[in-house]
Amino acid sequence: MGTKILFTDFDDTLLDSDKTVSKENMEEIHTMLAQGHYVAYTTGRPLQGAKTLVERLGLPKRHCFLLCFQGSVVYDLEQDEILIENPMEQDKMLDLVRLLREKKIYTEAFGKKCFYCFEFTETTRRYNRLTSETYQVIDGIEEIEKEPIYKVMAIDFHNKQPLLELQKSMEEQNPYGFESFFSSEWFYEFCGKNQNKGTGLETLAAKLGIPIADTVAVGDEENDLSMIQAAGVGCAVQNARESVKKVADYVTKAEHNHGAVAEVIRHFILGDS
C-alpha cells in the first residue's frame, strides 16, 4: 500500500461541536502518521490562527500540513515554513472591497497576521468570539493598498439575503475572477482566482509526489466541495450539507461528534473494513 494523504476540514468535521478533537479521531490520526502517511488540516482560517488552533488542540505536526485561507497558503507544520502562498490580485481585491462597502455589507480582509475591518461592530465581536483571531480596525481602504490579502469575507449573522444576492450576482457576472463560496451559513468568502481547497490539495500532493488517487478528503461545507471533488476519494461527514453529500464518493455513518474522521481513516487510509 502506497503513502496516502488525508485532507480534513476543521469545523464540524474533525472538530466536535465543542471545538475539540475526539479521542477516537486523535488516535486514528496518530496511527496513520505512524504508518508513514500524511495529514493536511484544511481551513479558511488565517495561518496564525490555524497554527494557534493546532497548538491548542494538541494535534501532531510531523508529516502534517496546513492549508489556510481556503488553500491559498500551504504550510509545513513540521518544518515551520510556508511552502506556497497565493495572495489575491491587489487591484481587483481593492475593487471588490469597495463594492462590498458600497453595498453596506460588513467586510473583513485577511492578511497574513490579522484580519482588517473598517469598524468594530457587534459582528466583529461575534466573529472574534468564534475564532479568537487577531484583528485591526482601519480607517480606510488605502491602509491595505500594499498589504497582501489572501481572502475577503462578507458576513451577516442576522439576514442571509444580502449574501445570497451577492452570490447570485457573482454567479451571473464575476468581474474579478475570484473564487467565492459560503464557508458557513453567515460567511460568504472570496479567494484568489483558482485558489480553493481543491487546488491546494492538488498542489501539496504534487509537491509530496503523491498521486491524486492516493488522496482522501473529508468535509461538510460548500467550501469543501472543491477538495472533495479533486481527491482520489472524496468524503462527506454525516452532518454535511446535502449539496456536499451529493458529490461525495462516501458519506460517513458517523457525524462529526462521533468520530467521522476516524471512520474515514479506517476505511480509506488504513484499509480496515
- Contact by Cβ (8 Å): 40, 64: yes
pLDDT digits (tens, 9 = 90+) for 120-133: 999 999 998 888 88
Radius of gyration over alpha carbons of the chain, in Å? 18
Average pLDDT of the chain to the nearest whole number: 94
CA distance 273 to 271: 6
Where does the pLDDT of residue 1 fall: very low under 50, low under 70, confident under 90, or very high at 90 and above? low
Nearest CA to 131 among 52, 22, 239, 23? 52
Cα 234 to Cα 247: distance, rounded to the nearest angstrom: 8
Query: Which of the two residues, 210 and 193, has the higher pLDDT score?
Result: 210
Average pLDDT, integer, range 139-149: 93
| Distance, CA of 115 to CA of 237 (rounded, Å) | 29
Residues 85-101: what's their mean pLDDT? Answer: 94
String of DSSP letters for 68-118: EGGGTEEEETTTTEEEEE-PPPHHHHHHHHHHHHHTT-EEEEE-SS-EEES
Residue the block writes with cell 471545538: 19
CA distance 242 to 251: 10
> Among candidates 18, 27, 113, which has minimal Cα distance to 68?
113
Is a pLDDT exceeding 90 seen at residue 30?
yes
Measured distance CA(251)–CA(255) in Å, rounded:
9
Do 72 and 151 contact (CB within 8 A), yes or no? yes
pLDDT of residue 112: 85
- Stretch (H or E) spanning 187: strand 187-191
Q: Dihedral through CA 253, CA 259, CA 261, CA 265, nearest 10?
A: -90
pLDDT value of position 165: 94
CA distance 39 to 62: 9
- What confidence tens digit (pLDDT) does each residue in 247-259 have? 999 999 999 999 9
Local structure of 26: helix, strand or coil: helix
> How would residue 273 be classed by pLDDT, with cut points 50, 70 and 90?
very low
Cell of 142: 488605502
The reported pTM is: 0.86
- Which among 219, 213, 227 is positioned nearest to 251, based on CA atoms? 219
Residue type, 4: K
Residues 193, 26: Cα–Cα separation, whole Å: 34
Q: 44 falls in which pLDDT band (50, 70, 90)?
A: confident
d(CA 266, CA 70): 26
